[in-house]
Amino acid sequence: MDETLLCAAVCKDRRAYEKLIRTGFDTNDFSEAGRCIIDAATEQYKRDESAQAVTTDALRSQIERRFGAGSMADSIMEFVGRFPSDVSTINVTEEYRLLRLARCSTSLATLLASGQHGEETADTLAKYEILVAGEEGEKFKERLTIDDFAEYEGDRIPLYPKSLNDFIGGGIERGHNVTVYARPEAGKSAFALNNAAMLVKQGYKVLYIANEEPARDVTRRVLSRMARIDIEYMRDREVLNDAFKAAGKAYRQNWHLLHKASLSAREIRRQCARLRPDIVIVDQLKNLYVTEDNRALQLDRVARQVREIGIEFDCATLSITQAGESAEGKLMLTMTDVEWSNTGIPGAADLLIGIGVNDEFMALGKRMLSICKNKVNSQHGHFPVWINPKQTAILSKAKVST
């Protein structure tokens, strides 16, 4: 397909861009000029979520910023000048989807015929499922039937430690949104990684959004929990290799790390469409990209977006956010202790968990979990847990592994 039509569709209609992003595109189908225009369109649409088309003057500025004023920038803008004025964005994007579907179908058939059933086949199958869904994948259901309950009947996704899971009645369902908040150094990331590691071991597919720690540190911590090896020893390459072996197949198949600064909800959706995870864990909400200038509005918006992702992809979601200064040195937290948001973040949560700690608890390696909001089984209260930072573990009892 002529890339001029595709680039024109992307620039003239945001809907075409979003459809292209949802189904993906093959960079081999685009010249350097085409890729540059797609990148510029992405930047504009990210900056202004209300923009319905690309602004040409801003596009020229972006190109000149990237290449400098000169022949390359002139060449790309000449390419833009060849865009047809009457392009049918719906027909162009749909035709491109069908073209990619035909290619993907051939590739998948070749892989299956060769007997290869590894990661390449799994990735190709995932792409095929996204492409074959097309517009059907974007339709909503007016009502559920008994068949909609069959696939996950009785399948509640557990939370850890066990004392928390027991408190909420045995886990959360797909579509539930869990928000965890605490002061710095209270154990928010430990809570998130502890749950990720244990769920991966149990066979649940986890998409972990990390935007605080370096990717290597995140990986060492989740391996530390899975392999039960103190993280201080995992600077040694042999020990790290042992940890990878101990984590084994569960790590390779079920752990998916998306590590990127200023990540947007749209990019998370794209990975969810590819992976179809059982749970998405966001560490932390405050670092997701959003256009609002007001901090409270930013956090409220991303909290809602994460919740929408869980509903859209039929997965559970767990988000980490900060507690405000009112939570400093406090054991039992309340909704009002959520930083920058007394309504938006708690409102988006089905289960709201505060992690409290004071000097005494810190010295004993303890934390207090406060269940401030609970649509799972309506039980509220608080109870202590123990933290083992050496293995990124949150435990129901002191010095007892779960």
Look at 127 and 370; give whichever has higher pLDDT: 370
**Per-residue pLDDT tens over the stretch 33-63:** 888 998 899 889 888 878 899 999 999 999 9
Apex CA 68: angle with CA 66 and CA 71, to 5°? 115
pLDDT for 402 beyond 70? no
Share of the chain above pLDDT 70, in %: 94
The arithmetic mean of pLDDT across residues 321-336, rounded, is 96
HSE-CB for 215 with a 13 A CA cutoff: 8
Section 91-110 average pLDDT:
85
Question: Is the model more confident about 392 or about 401?
Answer: 392
The CATH code for residues 162-395 is 3.40.50.300
Q: Where in the chain is the domain with CATH 3.40.50.300?
A: 162-395
Q: How many CB atoms lie within 10 A of CB 99?
A: 14
Q: What is the pLDDT of residue 138?
A: 52
d(CA 344, CA 340): 9
**Higher pLDDT pick, 91 / 129:** 91
Average pLDDT over residues 89-101: 85
CATH number assigned to the domain with residue range 3-138, chosen from the 4 options 2.60.120, 1.10.10, 1.10.150, 1.10.860: 1.10.860
Contacts of 176 (CB under 8 A, 6+ apart): 310, 316, 317, 350, 351, 375, 376
Q: Report whether pLDDT(106) > 80.
A: yes
Residue 62 and residue 151: Cα distance in Å, rounded? Answer: 48
Question: What are the pLDDT digits (tens) for 3-22?
Answer: 899 899 999 999 888 888 77
Cβ atoms 348, 304 nearer than 8 A: yes
CB-CB neighbours of 281 under 10 Å: 24
The confidence score (pLDDT) of residue 169 equals: 94
C-alpha to C-alpha distance for 77 and 110, rounded to whole angstroms: 40
What average pLDDT does range 97-102 have in this prediction?
Answer: 85
Tokens 């051939």 found at: 106
CB 24 within 8 A of CB 137: no
Q: Helix, strand or coil for residue 206?
A: strand
The pLDDT assigned to 200 comes to: 98
**99, pLDDT greater than 80:** yes
Q: State the virtual CA torsion across 217, 222, 227, 229 in degrees, nearest 10.
A: 40
What confidence category does residue 290 fall into, taking pLDDT thresholds of 50, 70 and 90?
Answer: confident
Side chain identity at 276, as an amino acid letter?
R
Query: How far is residue 397's CA from residue 267's CA, in Å, rounded to a whole number?
Result: 38
> Per-residue pLDDT for 365 more than 60?
yes
Higher pLDDT, 86 or 204: 204
Dump pLDDT digits (tens) for 132-190.
Answer: 766 554 555 667 777 777 665 568 999 999 999 999 999 999 999 999 999 999 999 99
Q: Which residue has the tokens 């290799």?
A: 241
Q: How far apart are CA 394 and CA 368, in angstroms?
A: 11
Structure-block tokens of residue 142: 């007016």
Distances (CA, A) of 331 to 249, 259, 371, 382: 39, 32, 12, 9
Q: Which residue has the higher pLDDT, 200 or 347?
A: 200
| pLDDT of 343 | 74
CATH 1.10.860 range(s) for the chain read 3-138
The rounded mean pLDDT for the chain is: 88
Is the predicted pLDDT of residue 25 greater than 90, yes or no?
A: no
The pTM for the full model equals 0.68
For residue 401, pLDDT over 50 is answered with: no
Report the pLDDT value the prediction gives residue 111, as an integer from 0 to 100: 84
* 8 token code pair: 């024109």
More confident residue, 270 or 221: 221
Instruction: Give tens-digit pLDDT for 198-249.
Output: 999 999 999 999 988 999 999 999 999 999 999 999 999 999 999 999 999 9
How many other CB atoms are there within 10 angstroms of residue 296's CB atom?
15
42 CB-near residues (< 8 Å, 6+ apart): 17, 21
pLDDT at 140: 56
What single letter denotes the amino acid at residue 379?
A: Q
Q: Which two tokens stand for residue 384?
A: 């202590």
Instruction: Quickly tell me which residue has 């833009």 as its tokens.
Output: 80
Q: Is pLDDT of 398 > 70? A: yes
CA dihedral 274, 280, 284, 289 (to 10 degrees): 40
pLDDT score at 112:
81
Query: Sorting pLDDT into bands at 50, 70 and 90, what band is 90?
Result: confident
Nearest-Å Rg of the Cα atoms of the chain is: 23
> What are the distances in angstroms from CA 273 to CA 103, 254, 315?
19, 15, 11
Cis peptide before 389 (omega within 30 of 0): no
